[in-house]
Structure 1
Amino acid sequence: MTNFQDLSKIDQENFLMSKIIKALRKLGGKSFTKELSDEVVDATEEIPEEYAKLLITSKKGNEYHPFAYTFNFAVKYLLLAGFLKRPIRGTVELTEKGRTCLLDEFDPDEQVRKFADPHWRRPRKRELTDPKSGVDGADSDDEDNQVNNWKDQLAIALSNFTPAKFELFARALVKNMGVTLDESIGVSLTGDGGLDGFGYLTTDDFRTARVAIQAKRWQGLVSSPEIDKFRGAMDKYNAEYGVFITTSDFTRDAIKASRVGTRVITLINGDKIADLVAKYQIYTHPVTTYVLEDYYNNEQ
């Protein structure tokens, strides 16, 4: 089995096209672009998790994700070839062509590139095809780049937090999610039984459950042994639910471990943190802006 990162950029794009269509079908035919990217990585063993999250600094000092760069171009080609469409900003949806194509007979060159290349608005210059220039596929998907810009800023800010500040942030996050925090468990900076927080969640039918909280400000991926240790800490306080929050992401094995047994652990990675920060406006506020559509780019 050839690893994804060993393929040429064009072969990577071709490889991803059918995976993108398959993942969208699993997600119901419509998805946020980032959600789609995560689903493709989770479902594809040929794409190493470390490579999918890899962040590189170019010669010009710009940071970029090689996988995101390639993924964006694969999506762009599928859009131009009519397999996908954008119903609203930041989302992609399967067209009838995308819903009905036979993936077992899918040929990226004949079915996608042959139709997309004539519609490509500008040549794929070196700065677009060579990620070393520092372009993270931004020109291939400007709208998504604008949407994710503030999320990148948030990720950098969280990575600079001290462990103590991040734990406080995590407790603020779950508090806004409806958890009433316990004032005696998991609030000391020295740690408390392996927990970073503990609280109670009351559902609409007035049932109250104990919730254990773990917060990790990590650079690398959280592995399954960390999930197992957290589950042990949950046992100490008879917690029915667990919430594991990290600035990075989780390995495939960690995701599987979180779903084992009768007590499923909710995993919140860096992307989901950003979604929750926006939803509850935690130390942030929305700014309204407008993006001109193609109508304004045409003289006639």
Structure 2
Amino acid sequence: MSDLVESVEQPDNISTLPQWHVFMRPLLEVLSDGNSWSKKDLEQATLDKAGVTSEQRNELLPSGQYRAINRIGWATSHLFQAQALEKPMRAVRRITSTGQNLLEEYPAGFGKSALEEIPAFLAYIPSRGPLSNGALASGSESPDMDEDPMELIEAGIAAFESEAASELIRKLREKHPDFFEQAVVDVLNKMGYGGTEERGRRLGGSGDGGVDGVIDQDALGLNRIYVQAKRYGEGNSVQRPEIQGFVGALAGKGAAQGVFVTTGLFSKGAREYVGQIPSRVVLIDGPRLAELMIRYRVGVQIKRTYEVVEVDEDYFE
């Protein structure tokens, strides 16, 4: 059951990391000793130079990449385009005279606009169709490059998912309670509870004993998770008495673990009660349910797929 708790209770954190361009000066400062640095050592030294905390270093993007390393990667890429650093061999970096000049000219740090003053950087940007290099460099056809391009992509995906989440909850509230109960069971099955055979089923009916579904974790049904699913309207919260009733139903079935799911929210009293009882009860509110449906592709479909490419260094070796 602890796996279920971890998979449905993940707080959202707001990043406090500097934007990618802030890492350009610390990176060049590390390289200013004139030595050749390995990619890995340079990343860690740059993080130290920029004063990035251990908590910030452990921030992950939705793709699983470390956010700080990803931003250093974009800083490195832009400095390479401006010929402020060079790569004498694979995974090795070294500063150039252009990089030294940037350190001297911008002692307080610099952004992409400083690179746009370097002819090599403008010449590096490929043109497409009638657009000139200057038009691309001006930013008229490109996104705000103060943001990490990869994070801009993921932010766009997040915006689509946010819209889909709202629509999912709206539709679940409109459907018959039986449909909602089955949808909840489907989500838990997709999450892996019930094994590859998806041994989850909706109970329903007047004889359900206070539960709406059950997930058999093993083929013989010796280990079960009971489910309560309640459709609530916007702004409505499940209160402590409903949770107490569910816990009582679990006790009546000789169970000590369950999942209570709602399209609404849970009151403070309900959450505090769950934290005080010996039974293991996981609470999934509407926003979290929608997030799980999107993650495990229940009630949603892939609209379009994009591929992001990078140079294959092995090919050129």
The interval holding the TM-score normalised by the smaller chain is 0.3 to 0.5
Answer with 1 or 2: which has the greater Rg.
2
TM-score (norm 2): 0.45
